[in-house]
Amino acid sequence: MSNYHIKHLEEYYQVYRKSVRNPELFWEEVAEEHFLWRKKWDNVLSWDFKKPEIKWFEGAKLNITENCIDRHLTTRANKTAILFEPNNPNEPAQHITYKQLHERVGKFANVLKSKGIGKGDRVCIYLPMIPELAVALLACARIGAIHSVVFAGFSATALSTRINDCDAKMVITSDGSYRGDKSIDLKGIVDDALKSCPGVQSVLVVNRTNRTIQMKDGRDVWLQPLLDEADTNCEPEIMDAEDPLFILYTSGSTGMPKGMMHSTAGYMVYTAYTFKNVFQYKEEDIYWCTADIGWITGHSYIVYGPLANGATTVMFEGVPSYPDFGRFWEVVEKHKVTQFYTAPTAIRALAKQGMEFIEKHDLSSLKVLGTVGEPINEEAWHWYNDNVGKKKSPIVDTWWQTETGGIMITPIPFATPTKPTYATLPFIGIQPALMDEQGNEIKGNQVDGRLCIKFPWPSIARTIWGNHQRYKDTYFSAFENMYFTGDGALRDEVGYYRITGRVDDVIIVSGHNLGTAPIEDAINEHPAVSESAIVGFPHDVKGFALYGYVTLKETGESRDHDNLRKEINQVITEHIGPIAKLDKIQFTSGLPKTRSGKIMRRILRKIACKETDNLGDTSTLLNPEVVQEIMDNAL
Ligand code: WT7
């Protein structure tokens, strides 16, 4: 029996039950049937959430790139592995076959070796969304070096912090990058960052934009001449199952970013298995995830998961608004994309634009739509479903985290009936629990609580690089014997989960627990509203009251603000109840967002609480300029 590809709800429940009754047997079967091992494991799982220590497939030996590339060469040598769509629509797309990918990774890996990089060394990758980025990840994995990708939109300070935290010896970057009509001086940012990174011995530079840059003697080298000289064949380093594969930084609610460390075998098995099932990938499909490889979504669902399945994965260099807001749909039509995976923030931005951008493109190739990164509000869900999916492509609302490595709660297309704003059911092998504040599990349905996971899954991050204590404190200390996600969730009458937002964003108003997401959802239903964010501020009687920041659609901009405020509270009253009405509503031209599209509530909370002398680190904001505007007009 193959349990690799789930086709209907009955089968989901069957496989799910099996996976939680005997997880070890279940994952052992998946691992045995679908991957290439140099040596099989001695032990499927050992774990202790108290220490915490988690090991999957201990004793096994493998190389993930053999699984992502070499083993496809017999059947898929000439199939496109990576389909590169450049920023400029007039520049031809590149189809990199599995055979070509094998050669490019081999050459790149040999260059790394020639520069003194070996197993266990950390390599920082700071590249735009060009094929070299994916190839660089795989080249590191080929020789057992640990990659640490830093999103190429981060500042020099953010980059240097991350380089130093993991003592990277090498940085891989490019001269510049293209984003829409902008060309960015990436190498200049690296030069700035490296002023405070004494441990970096070499910098490999990809030529992308032909811009004039400084090359530091003895440190910086152009990549291409080295590749031209290099041998295409690079024998894979044989890794232990638990050897580190990569570090990826994610921001915590306080302090330094956390270097989440993922290990090899479990990550491979889980990302491959989820990719296959969540996107129902079939051999001829063209799969496109619009994320950047600088985030976990790109690691797991542009590179490793798709390639482990021998899929064709699209890599898009550009932005959704260039040359116009029809670009996503143009690319879908051009490459006949079958699975499309994006973020709610992108959906909302596109929904704000006229329908002509979408109507002129043929989207009939699409079969499955995905969303990830934040709760998707009802309005955006329907827009996506009606206009992109034409009501025939199921939407997979996939809940997961940098820390989880792979998708955790999600519908399985054509098997799980979808429900707007619900991530629905736990993926195979995932055992969620909702906890109350006293630390008790809340059983049954129609309940809400803090979302925890009771049992390890193969791709859980194994530690925070260099700070295991923080790993323990952040994820395993709030609830005994549980991984704590930091999110709140509710479970409806049929057992579907809806993620209500970070619990650090929960606001208690007059003793009532209010998640920000449902209130924002309600506000966003108002026809004049584009986006909103709710925070709490101290209130004499209620404990906390609600402050809403609201951006308007063009149609709303001319409206009288006091009337709009009344209407918004009316909508909230209708959707949630008068308890959730906002005390203050500030209209603003934008909301401060991180580069991954998350609203930075920390800043909004401080402004609402009038604690503006120390706003904390705003360096990771996409639009720092709105902060001043919001402060100037604060209520
Ligand atoms: C946090 C993790 C996983 C890749 C991108 C984000 C929120 C993520 C959903 C979803 C509601 C979601 C959670 C989670 N989140 N997906 N489908 N519905 N919330 O990774 O930066 O590590 O963020 O994003 O709050 O904890 P990340």
Q: Are residues 536 and 475 in the same domain?
A: no
16 in a domain, yes or no?
A: yes
On whether residue 102 sits in a domain, the answer given is yes
Q: Which atom of ligand 1 is nearest to the CA of 375?
A: 11
In a domain, 365, yes or no: no
**Centroid of ligand 1 to alpha carbon of 567 (angstroms):** 30
Regarding whether 303 and 266 lie in a shared domain, the answer is: yes
364 in any annotated domain: no
Query: Within this chain, do residues 462 and 592 fall inside the same structural domain, yes or no?
Result: no
Residue 367 lies inside a defined structural domain of this protein: no
Q: Which value, in Å, is the radius of gyration of the alpha carbons in the chain?
A: 24
The residue whose C-alpha atom lies closest to atom 11 belonging to ligand 1 is 375
Reported as half-sphere exposure (CB side, CA atoms, 13 A), residue 129 has a value of 29
Q: How many CB atoms within 10 Å of residue 391?
A: 8
Count how many domains the chain has: 2
**Considering the domain boundaries, does residue 13 fall inside one?**
yes
CATH, residue 529: 3.30.300.30
- Asked if 523 and 480 sit in the same domain, the reply is no
Q: Considering only CA atoms, which of 335, 411, 408 is closest in space to residue 369? A: 411
Same domain, residue pair 92 and 135? yes
- State whether ipTM is beyond 0.90: yes
Domain's final residue, options 426, 460, 489: 489
Ligand 1 center from residue 114 Cα (angstroms) = 39
Euclidean distance between CA atoms 368 and 394, whole angstroms:
5
**250 in the same domain as 112:** yes
Cα 401 to averaged position of ligand 1 atoms, centre (Å): 5
DSSP for 330-356, written as a single string? HHHHHHT-SEEEE-HHHHHHHHTS-TH
Q: Do residues 295 and 166 share a domain? A: yes
Domain assignment present for 100: yes
Task: Point out the ligand 1 atom lying closest to the alpha carbon of residue 407.
Answer: 3
Is there an atom of ligand 1 within 6 Å of 103 CB?
no
Amino acid 506: pLDDT = 58
> Which residue range(s) make up the domain with 107?
9-319+394-489
- Binding site membership of 373 for ligand 1 (Cβ less than 6 Å): yes
Taking CA atoms only, the protein residue closest to ligand 1 atom 27 is 401
Per DSSP, the residues of 56-104 read: EEET-EE-HHHHHTGGGHHHHTTSEEEEEE-SSTTSPPEEEEHHHHHHH
Residues 470 and 574 in one domain: no
Among 260, 304, 374, 620, residue to substitute to test ligand 1 (most atoms within 8 Å of Cβ): 374
Note whether 476 and 536 are same-domain residues: no
Q: Assess whether the C-beta atom of 551 lies below 6 angstroms from ligand 1.
A: no
Are 446 and 581 found together in one domain?
Answer: no
In sequence order, the 6+-apart residues with CB closer than 8 A to the CB of 443 are: none
Question: Does residue 477 sit in the same domain as residue 526?
Answer: no
Distances (CA, A) of 184 to 189, 321, 365: 9, 17, 34
Q: Which atom of ligand 1 is nearest to the CA of 501?
A: 25
CB 524 within 8 A of CB 377: yes
Single residue among 432, 457, 489 that ends a domain in this structure: 489
CA of 238 from ligand 1 middle (Å) equals 33
Measured from the Cα of 403, ligand 1's closest atom is 22
- Ligand 1: distance of its center to the CA of 142 in Å? 29
Residues whose CB is less than 8 angstroms from the CB of residue 277 and which lie 6 or more positions away in sequence, other chains included: 4, 5, 6, 412, 427, 428
Cα gap 506→489, rounded to integer Å: 11
| Cα of 66 from ligand 1 centre, angstroms | 30
**CATH number of the domain that 202 lies in?**
3.40.50.12780
Q: Backbone phi, then psi, for 163, in 5-degree steps?
A: -65, -45
Structure tokens at 254: 């306080």
Q: Which of 360, 302, 367 lies closest to 329 in space, CA to CA?
A: 360
User: What predicted TM-score, i.e. pTM, was given to this entire model?
Assistant: 0.85
Q: Whose CA is nearest to atom 7 of ligand 1?
A: 374
Mutation pick for ligand 1 pocket among 372, 376, 505, 594 (CB with most ligand atoms within 8 Å): 372
Q: From ligand 1's centre to the CA of 3, what distance in Å? A: 27
* 270, 342, 399: residue to mutate for ligand 1 pocket, most atoms within 8 A of CB: 399
Q: Using the mean position of ligand 1's atoms as its centre, give its distance from the Cα of residue 355 in Å.
A: 28
For residue 94, which phi and psi values (nearest 5 degrees)? -115, 130
Whether 500 is in the pocket of ligand 1, judged by its Cβ within 6 Å, is: no
Same domain, 471 and 620: no
To test ligand 1's pocket by mutation, which of 271, 400, 490, 520 has the most ligand atoms within 8 angstroms of CB? 400
3-state secondary structure at position 316? strand
Continuous segment of H or E residues that includes residue 452: strand 447-453
Mean pLDDT, 10 residues at a time, over the chain (635 residues)?
Answer: 73 96 98 97 98 98 98 98 98 98 98 98 98 98 98 85 96 97 96 97 98 97 98 98 96 71 98 97 97 95 98 97 97 98 89 92 98 88 97 97 97 96 97 95 96 98 97 95 94 95 67 69 91 88 85 86 95 79 95 86 91 80 89 92
Ligand 1 pocket, residue 594 CB under 6 Å: no
Quick check: CB of 521 below 6 Å from ligand 1?
no
pLDDT at 1: 39
How many whole angstroms from 405 Cα to the centroid of ligand 1? 11
| Pocket flag, ligand 1, residue 486 (CB < 6 Å) | yes
Among protein residues, the one with the nearest Cα to ligand 1's atom 10 is 399
The token pair at 372 is: 């990830």
Closest ligand 1 atom to residue 409 Cα is 17
Q: Is the shortest distance between the CB of 532 and ligand 1 below 6 Å?
A: no
**Residue 423 Cβ < 6 Å to ligand 1:** yes
Closest ligand 1 atom, CA of 517?
A: 11
Is 222 within a domain?
yes
153 CA from centroid of ligand 1 (Å): 19
Q: Is 399 in the pocket of ligand 1 (CB under 6 A)?
A: yes
Ligand 1 and 296: CB distance under 6 A = yes
Q: How far does the centroid of ligand 1 lie from the alpha carbon of residue 561, in Å?
A: 33
pLDDT at residue 458, rounded to an integer = 98
